[in-house]
Structure 1
Amino acid sequence: MRQALKSKLEAVRAAVTRQGRADAALPPLTGIVSVSGGLDSRLLAHVLRQWDLPFTAVHVTGPHIPMRESARAVAWLAAQGRPFHTVEADPLNRVEVLHNGRQRCYVCKGVMFRRIASLARELGAELVVEGSHADDLQGYRPGLTALAELGVVSPWALAGIRKAELRELARELGLADPEQPSRPCLFTRLEYGMIVSAELLRKTAEVEQEVEGLGLRDFRLRLHADGRIVVQIHARERGHARGHERAVLAMVRERFATPPQILYSETVSGYFDDNAGQADA
């Protein structure tokens, strides 16, 4: 392992064992690690387990989390051989989330992590950690403000570890699927200002599951307020996707009855934040 990355990993260890403690002789903190099932949180849970630290994993379910992703997260946690918890959080009862406002993520993260904080109190855990990294600090991430207000710690971000370094570290440690694409929650598939419903989120998740079954990995379904639908696919998957475009279009029309547009782009993150919906296909 590169010395620079090793030093950052030591900073992570310090953050999760002595957070806020001046006395190094005290025992390590007990804690909760939030595991969405993505690479960042899986790697954090994996490292905590390798260090044999007293952290319990929790996965949050809700209408904004595709069932297939929850199933994968739970299966991965079960395979680790340690007790874990699943809790439900439904942010759709909050107006800012229901109307998909620009502060949606702030409100949603608050709902989710207050539920986790409640579990932490039940278990007597002293610290809650999650997997945001240094690159997340550069984008539009109002949810990070909610985490900070709740005292949730993001060790990767604190140590200045970026996404590429997390992939490198995952390869070094033998974690499964180190190239796993990021998969943010289903709210990000809808343009700001669209009214959200559990049914709309369910249909979106079903289409994405079918598209994934074609062998595509890094893509998103994007629903615009004016009725347009875009299937956004990372440009590196263009070669494979070209042979499945007709099937992809049919999958969308089956559930939404709207002819979608296919958009190949160099990134599939921040679509509605960066006005990428205006990009040329």
Structure 2
Amino acid sequence: MTVQDKLQQLQTLFAQMERALIAYSGGIDSTLVAKVAFDVLGYKALAITANSPSLLPEDFEDAQVQAADIGISHEVVATHEMDNPNYTTNPVNRCYFCKSELYDALKPLASEWGYAYVVDGVNADDLQDYRPGIRAAKERGTRSPLAEVGITKLEVREISKLLGLPWWDKPAQPCLSSRFPYGEEITVEKLRRVGQAERYLRHLGWSTLRVRSQADTARIELPAAEIPTFIQNTDLAELVEAFKGYGFTYVTLDLEGFVSGKLNQELPFASSMS
């Protein structure tokens, strides 16, 4: 089946829904869902973004800009997962409590405003990963159009490019809480310093990256092929000084390179836990 066929199936799915409220983070997956929903449903599609300390301010701004570019109505709600110790103690199923907070906020709004469906940006590949948040969404009746049609991560980019979306190659940007090893408490201050560190690296021109945080140590992840250039072209002393200013004591570079979801490697049975 071609990506054009899958796009047509996605369009048909939204036509059958008639009205849809999209859990919209501004990431490439949920933005594609918002785009297709708006193209099919017009004003009967609504995108809602949850703003919280785990979302980088610039990612929130991107979400607003992209929604305006698409033309879809866009609302913002505040979520309060940081008030829940089941979330802040950072257990292996932390995402379950985050998504529970999100969909417990969105479901009543959908009911009040007359939207029969709440949908998210989960794609077919996500179903093969350890994603406890997917269970929270399913428990609350959320649908995942991309996964239902069988659209993979790569196909999300292909369809986005096909539709002329300028952010089709935007790097994945999971929430900042994913930068901490399971079991380490998450605080607003820790989220802030990780966000500042990643922003610093982006301003240097690096786009695909993570700054993993463990206690007082920042561990920089970049694609392995880019590490030699990074070392040669970066004023490392200046970088270390900046990171210490954000609150880190030690700054390291992960020589294995960037690996999405690296902290899940410590969960050998994660795929059976979702």
| Residue in 2 that maps onto 1:202 | 192
Residue 193 to residue 122, structure 1, CA distance change in 2 (3 Å): same
Q: Deviations over 1:156-181 (max 9, x none)?
A: 11111111111111111110121111
Partners of 1:170 and 1:239 lie apart in 2 by: 32
Structure 2 residue matching 1:273: 3-state secondary structure: helix
Does the 8 A contact of 1:234 with 1:264 survive in 2?
A: no
Aligned equivalent of 1:250, options 241, 248, 251: 241
| Residue in 2 that maps onto 1:212 | 202
Partners of 2:226 and 2:106 lie apart in 1 by: 36
Aligned equivalent of 2:262, options 229, 253, 271: 271
Partners of 1:56 and 1:190 lie apart in 2 by: 32
Does the 8 A contact of 1:220 with 1:232 survive in 2?
A: yes
Residue 90 to residue 250, structure 1, CA distance change in 2 (3 Å): same
Q: CA deviation at 1:239?
A: 5.2
| Residue in 2 that maps onto 1:158 | 148
Report the more deviating stretch, 155-164 or 79-88. 79-88
| Residue in 2 that maps onto 1:24 | none
Amino acid at match of 2:143: V
Q: CA deviation at 1:264?
A: 4.5
Which structure 2 residue ranges, 5 or more long, are not aligned?
A: 268-274
Amino acid at match of 1:119: L
Does the 8 A contact of 2:23 with 2:118 survive in 1?
A: yes
User: What aligned pairs does 1:186-201 form with structure 2 within 5 A after superposition?
Assistant: 186-201=176-191
**2:230 is equivalent to residue 232 of structure 1:** no
Q: CA deviation at 1:12?
A: 2.0
| Residue in 1 that maps onto 2:102 | 112
Q: Deviations over 1:192-228 (max 9, x none)?
A: 1111111111121111111111111111111124x43
Partners of 1:189 and 1:66 lie apart in 2 by: 13
Partners of 1:15 and 1:81 lie apart in 2 by: 20
| Residue in 1 that maps onto 2:74 | 84
Partners of 1:250 and 1:271 lie apart in 2 by: 26
Which structure 1 residue ranges, 5 or more long, are not aligned?
A: 19-27, 277-281
Q: CA deviation at 1:130?
A: 1.1
Partners of 2:69 and 2:182 lie apart in 1 by: 38
Amino acid at match of 1:4: T
User: What aligned pairs does 1:1-281 form with structure 2 within 5 A after superposition?
Assistant: 4-18=2-16, 28-53=17-42, 54-225=44-215, 227-238=216-227, 240-242=229-231, 243-244=233-234, 246=236, 247-265=238-256, 267-275=258-266
Greater helix fraction, Structure 1 or Structure 2: 2
Partners of 1:245 and 1:232 lie apart in 2 by: 17
Structure 1 residue matching 2:227: 3-state secondary structure: helix
Residue 82 to residue 6, structure 1, CA distance change in 2 (3 Å): closer
Partners of 2:161 and 2:255 lie apart in 1 by: 28
Amino acid at match of 1:148: K
Q: Deviations over 1:72-124 (max 9, x none)?
A: 11122223334221111020111221101111101101101211112212211
Q: CA deviation at 1:145?
A: 0.6
Q: CA deviation at 1:266?
A: 5.5
Normalised by the length of structure 1, the TM-score is 0.87
Does the 8 A contact of 1:218 with 1:237 survive in 2?
A: no
